[in-house]
Each structure stands twice: as C-alpha cells, then as structure tokens.
Amino acid sequence: MLRIGKIVATHGLNGTLIMTHIAGKSNWLKIDQVLFVAIQKENKIPYFVTACKAHSDDEYHIQLDEVNTIEAAKKFIGKQVYVAEELLTQSKVDSPLLWVGFNIVDVHLGSLGALIDVAQTGHQWVGTILHEGKEVLLPLVEPLLQEVNLRNKYIRMTLPEGLLDI
C-alpha cells in the first residue's frame, strides 16, 4: 500500500472531504475505488469512493461510503490516505510513490535495505530506510540517484559520506 495523501478539511455539510495528494495529475481516482484511511497509526480502514471531483492537480473533493455528515467527516481531518499500488501503476509510472519496497543499493556500500516510505518535502522527495536498526532519511534527488530499475525493483544511489551515520 502506498501513502498518497492526506485529508485536510471538510467541505459543505454532507460529509465531503478535501484530500490533498502527491500523485501528479488528478485523473487517477474514480468512483467505486477504495481508499485506505489510517484512522490510527497502523490501522488502515478501507472506504469506497462514492463521489470525487478534482479541484486541482493536487486536490480532490471526495465522498466516502458511510460518511454522510460533517460530524462524521471531521473525524477524518489530518488522517493519512493510502491506495493499493496497482491503482497508481496505471496512472503515473515514474512516481517515487511506486518505489516503496525497492532495494536501495549504494555504489560504494552495496545493499542498504528496502525503501519503507517516501514523502515529498517541498520540491524534493525523501525516502526512509531501516539501516542497522535505525531509520535513515535519504534525499531522492538527481545528483544522488544513479539508476531506478522498475523491473528488478532497486534504486542505485551514490550517497554522501557520513549520511548513514547521522
């Protein structure tokens, strides 16, 4: 499952939610698709989309099954939204969101482990790996990325010296 965005607000009185997303163009979400909302940290609940309208390239107004009032909708504000990986593979193949699970390989150190999460911070993507028992953030930027192999699911990088020691 890939984290795609976040519920940021309600809209109107009928339970409509405003969801920001990082999937690029707003043409990937359709009625009857499933979004998973992280109600609690590790508890992702599936909800069917009953209505959706792209408000911009990074925002949807959505209605979820069984969320019909503003009171019910307010419980979703600030919650992370996830989708099945297959949903985005049809939409945007080059998105770093699809790299979750890829093995990170440094040209000098070799395999470092799997990418467990990605997030967009401003204009750059940051990936998270678990290296020697601690979380390490890796900037996923052009100067460091040497190769992204979608077929074999690995990312070859040249990491700056000392980055893994922070």
% pLDDT > 90, the chain = 50
Residues 126 and 75 reside in one and the same domain:
no
What's the pTM?
A: 0.64
Residues 111 and 150 reside in one and the same domain:
yes
Q: Collect contacts of 75-78 with beta carbons under 8 A, ≥24 apart.
A: 75/39, 76/7, 76/17, 76/37, 77/7, 77/8, 77/9, 77/10, 78/6, 78/7, 78/8
Question: pLDDT tens across 86-143, in order?
Answer: 776 655 546 687 788 899 999 999 999 999 888 878 788 899 999 888 899 999 998 9
Average pLDDT, the chain: 87
Q: State residue 90's pLDDT score.
A: 57
Residues 108 and 160 reside in one and the same domain:
yes
Residues 61 and 121 reside in one and the same domain:
no
